[in-house]
Structure 1
Amino acid sequence: MGSVSGADWRLIGSALAAIALIVLLITKLKLHPFLGLILGSGLLGLAAGMPTGQLIESFSDGVGSTVAGVGVLIALGAMLGKLLADSGGADQVVDTIMGRSGVRRLPWAMTLVAVLIGLPMFFEIGLVMLIPVVLLAARRARVNVMLLGIPALAGLSVLHGLVPPHPGPLVAVDALQADLGLTLGLGLLVAIPTVVVAGPLFAKVAVGWVAVARPPEPPAREQTPDHRPSFTATLATVLLPVVLMMGKALAGIVLAEGNPVRGALDFVGDPLIALLAAVLVGMVTLGRGAGLTRDRVGETLSSSLPPIAGILLIVGAGGGFKQTLVDAGVGETVTRLADGAALSPIILGWLIAVAIRLATGSATVATISAAGIIGDLALGLPPVQAALLALAIGAGSVFFSHVNDAGFWLVKEYFGLTVGQTIRTWSVMETLISVVAIAIIYPLSLVL
């Protein structure tokens, strides 16, 4: 701690002021996070004494590298999710699993459905798709809607926060230069027990806190083709990129460099190739499997891109903010402070993400900012530790969603809850996800 100078404290103060400005702009002035991140980056650079030319260059480089590293993957993930929705493949998964479940197993079935749907789909899209299923099943089974709603929300939220190709984990992996396949494998390892605790198990407790007399009417669902792709084909398509990326990670562990099998797995397991392959396969198994024409498949792919424009802009601006933090020297200063305080990078990353999440309500902003602040800590870490650090930041980014988070209001309105009921269910569930995940990640970091 004694090695930290007055200039270092100035950098820390500049970073805190920039984050405070972003929080103020997003939460109070309702400015779009894209603009808030640009202005916050400007304040950070100027307050830290960066020349204006270097500030603009740092921000631009950060935007370019982040969009190049993450943007294409987000776009491919959106295409796969849209194919799954428009072909009726998602409905096939839901109907197959729900049709084989009795009332007692419904919460577990809903968890499985949410996890499978949540792998390729963004949280908001998965939520809109599953809400009618949750409400209809709750009505038919005559159970408290939160008994099924909590497992569905937990499955979607855990995947969104911890497992690529969702934007948050992708951004953390890119910023920390972690191995994506390794992060995916460890993310699934952490996600399974986290979903179980925060989903079906917590749902049994939550129903005692919130009495919903009668589930609201399910919203109308979009028309899907009469002929759906088979459950097996749909499941294989959804899991294809997961298998390919995990195959690459395993090959790096068990096969020697120069091995032709490892070379092939390294290629097909690259995130870009894995997701591209899933989209191309999905055009046949999902699109043609549902009897969609080539034109209709093309329309589906095209319509998947406009809704993610805002996400790409936020992620890009967040990358610019991250690079400004790095080039201003904030990361090096935080590294020295952490070394002096003997604080684990895993815990530090989680705490920073939690603080920014609580302040901004945005999991993406929390992930980007936390990864930028402690990015230098990841440079000397072994691959497993870097992957766990990315997961710790993702876990912190979902902590206690409240009134400054759009997801809070989405859940409240869809389930017909009051603000208090939403806090006792959704907000507590999000906090449980964050705490359970870090409670698994930190011990793993000590033994792996």
Structure 2
Amino acid sequence: MTTQLVLAALAGIAAIIILIGWLKIHPFLSLMGGSAVMAIAAGVPYPDLFKSFSSGLGSTLSGVGLLIILGSIIGVLLISSGGADVIVDTIMDKTPLQRLPWAMALIAFIVGIPLFFEVGVVILIPVVMFAAKRAKLPVVLLGIPALAGLSALHGLVPPHPGPLIAIEGLKADLGLTLGLGLLVSIPCVIICGPVLGKMMATWVPIPAREDFLGGGGPTAGDKRPGFLAAIGVVLLPVFLMLIRTLVEVTKNQGSGFGAALVFVGTPLIALTITTVVAMFVFGYSIGKSRDKVNDLVGSSFGPIAGILLIVGAGGGFKQTLVDSGIAKVIAQGLTDAALPPLLAAWIVAVIIRLATGSATVATITASGIMAPLAVGLSPTHTALMVLSIGAGSVFLSHVNDAGFWMVKEYFGMTVGQTFKTWSLMETTLSVVGLVCVMGLSLVL
């Protein structure tokens, strides 16, 4: 029976790899197909073929899906109001030439908190190109720090989809994971951004493209929010969730005030509060009508439909792994191999990432496989396992990853140059992230 379940897992993962990598089928259908293959191979009766898949999809969307939707609303309001432009412009105006790479890393780190990776790239690429052209610097020198900041936040810090999926799958504490994720992200961004970017600029000294001049903000003459207001909204959910964690760690949630802080720091409540605040700061307070704000909120749903479907399907795949007993068998095998759980989680995520090219699929699959091993861990080490999976999920972006081609085309690089810069940066970020996680596990 054990052998059958292991083979079933391999068959399901192989089906996903073939469907995504070879046949180019949408990840939602690929995850659904992989779940079906895995269930059949595991001996699940045909009438119950999608029972676990449907259950997992529903439970995942009811938790993670709502957070992604609220995050998307905040992101759209931030961009459309010019709030993102205000943050970028203020930091750039106060930065001397020699500190520009560090400024780009800081901007990406801040803007990347509420924005999906792809959205952050679209916003920051024109800024990178303009700054590199104005300063007469290689575009890689400024581009790599920006990409490192966005990628680190994308892989390690909620409310991004990957970390949220792993938190849900491993039953980790979101506030604790958020705090540790920010802590791990700082050395990752420093080493893989300004430090590594300086070396890469000598290897690929290409100039900035001149066809990226615009931004995604408001039209000229529109009123924009102030810098402090924009920064405040971006950091508000982070602050609320971290305060909740602090209250729980100090065991003060028994008091009325402590209970209130725990409530407002609950992820769904924190993001709901931030969404309402964003509607005022990025909407009504700068002269946008109620209809305009409603239109902007509505426009935020379309771009994330695909993400929600993939995340939901990932939850279904994970639930099939769990209900069939496959995850328990694989976890026992990893235990018998005497691998440290955090290292095992990173390796599993790396393997799936290399095979499928998808950080999301890598996170989903790894969290499903590692869930049984997380049961006996402390809250801190469960959070660190989430980060270990997140670090593994960004390892070596290559030709089967849409992000690889996105970066290549935006920067006007060859395939070889993209490997020397973007792919190497992602690999380094993954390894540095693992080292930081393992280091923290020794002291926490």
Query: Could you state the TM-score of these two structures normalised by the residue count of structure 2?
Result: 0.98
Q: In 2, distance between residues paired with 1:284 and 1:213?
A: 40
Aligned AA (2:12) = A
Which residue among 152, 155, 159 is the counterpart of 1:161? Answer: 155
Aligned length: 442
- 8 Å Cα contact 2:133-2:207 kept in structure 1: no
- 8 Å Cα contact 1:395-1:437 kept in structure 2: yes
Aligned AA (2:325) = G
Which residue among 329, 332, 336 is the counterpart of 2:328? Answer: 332
Q: In 2, distance between residues paired with 1:267 and 1:209?
A: 51
Which residue among 306, 324, 330 is the counterpart of 1:310? Answer: 306
| Equivalent residue number for residue 262 of structure 1 | 258
Counterpart secondary structure, 1:250: helix
- 8 Å Cα contact 2:84-2:217 kept in structure 1: no
Counterpart secondary structure, 2:50: helix
Alignment pair present for 1:85 and 2:79: yes
| Equivalent residue number for residue 394 of structure 1 | 390
Which region of structure 1 is more displaced relative to structure 2, 192-201 or 209-218?
209-218
| Equivalent residue number for residue 120 of structure 2 | 126
**1:295: Cα distance to partner?**
1.3
- Residues 83-102 of structure 1: CA distance to partner in whole angstroms, max 9, x if unpaired? 00000000000000001011
Q: In 2, distance between residues paired with 1:168 and 1:35?
A: 19
Which residue among 136, 155, 158 is the counterpart of 1:142? Answer: 136
| Equivalent residue number for residue 284 of structure 1 | 280
For 1:32-431, what aligned pairs fall within 5 Å after superposition?
32-222=26-216, 224-225=218-219, 226-431=222-427
**1:259: Cα distance to partner?**
2.2
Q: In 1, distance between residues paired with 2:281 and 2:410?
A: 32
Q: Cα 1:329–1:223, aligned 2, differ >3 Å: closer, same or farther?
A: closer
Aligned AA (1:60) = S
- 8 Å Cα contact 2:322-2:368 kept in structure 1: yes
Q: In 2, distance between residues paired with 1:410 and 1:417?
A: 11
Q: In 1, distance between residues paired with 2:273 and 2:208?
A: 44
Aligned AA (1:230) = G
- 8 Å Cα contact 1:335-1:374 kept in structure 2: yes
Which residue among 7, 28, 48 is the counterpart of 1:13? Answer: 7
- 8 Å Cα contact 1:88-1:290 kept in structure 2: no
**1:223: Cα distance to partner?**
5.2
**1:330: Cα distance to partner?**
1.3
Counterpart secondary structure, 1:403: coil
Counterpart secondary structure, 1:374: helix
**1:257: Cα distance to partner?**
4.7
**1:294: Cα distance to partner?**
1.3
Q: Cα 1:193–1:57, aligned 2, differ >3 Å: closer, same or farther?
A: same
- Residues 358-402 of structure 1: CA distance to partner in whole angstroms, max 9, x if unpaired? 010100000000000111111121111110001100110000000
Q: Cα 1:257–1:293, aligned 2, differ >3 Å: closer, same or farther?
A: closer
**1:443: Cα distance to partner?**
1.9
- Residues 309-363 of structure 1: CA distance to partner in whole angstroms, max 9, x if unpaired? 0000000001000000001111211222122222111111100000000010100
Q: In 2, distance between residues paired with 1:256 and 1:212?
A: 55
Aligned AA (2:402) = A
**1:296: Cα distance to partner?**
1.2
Q: In 2, distance between residues paired with 1:34 and 1:120?
A: 24
- 8 Å Cα contact 1:247-1:265 kept in structure 2: yes
- 8 Å Cα contact 1:287-1:297 kept in structure 2: yes
Aligned AA (1:58) = S
Q: In 2, distance between residues paired with 1:220 and 1:237?
A: 24
- 8 Å Cα contact 2:130-2:213 kept in structure 1: no
- 8 Å Cα contact 1:82-1:300 kept in structure 2: yes
Counterpart secondary structure, 1:228: coil
**1:222: Cα distance to partner?**
3.8
- 8 Å Cα contact 1:158-1:195 kept in structure 2: yes
Aligned AA (2:329) = T
- 8 Å Cα contact 1:353-1:367 kept in structure 2: yes
- 8 Å Cα contact 1:55-1:324 kept in structure 2: no
Aligned AA (1:339) = T
**1:431: Cα distance to partner?**
0.4
- 8 Å Cα contact 2:166-2:363 kept in structure 1: yes
User: What is the RMSD computed on CA atoms of the aligned residues?
Assistant: 1.1
Aligned AA (1:91) = D
Q: In 1, distance between residues paired with 2:175 and 2:61?
A: 19
Give unpaired runs (5+ residues) of structure 1: 1-6
Which residue among 12, 15, 25 is the counterpart of 1:31? Answer: 25
Counterpart secondary structure, 2:205: coil
Q: In 2, distance between residues paired with 1:117 and 1:223?
A: 13
Q: In 1, distance between residues paired with 2:433 and 2:215?
A: 33
Aligned AA (1:363) = A
**1:53: Cα distance to partner?**
3.2
Query: Could you state the TM-score of these two structures normalised by the residue count of structure 1?
Result: 0.97
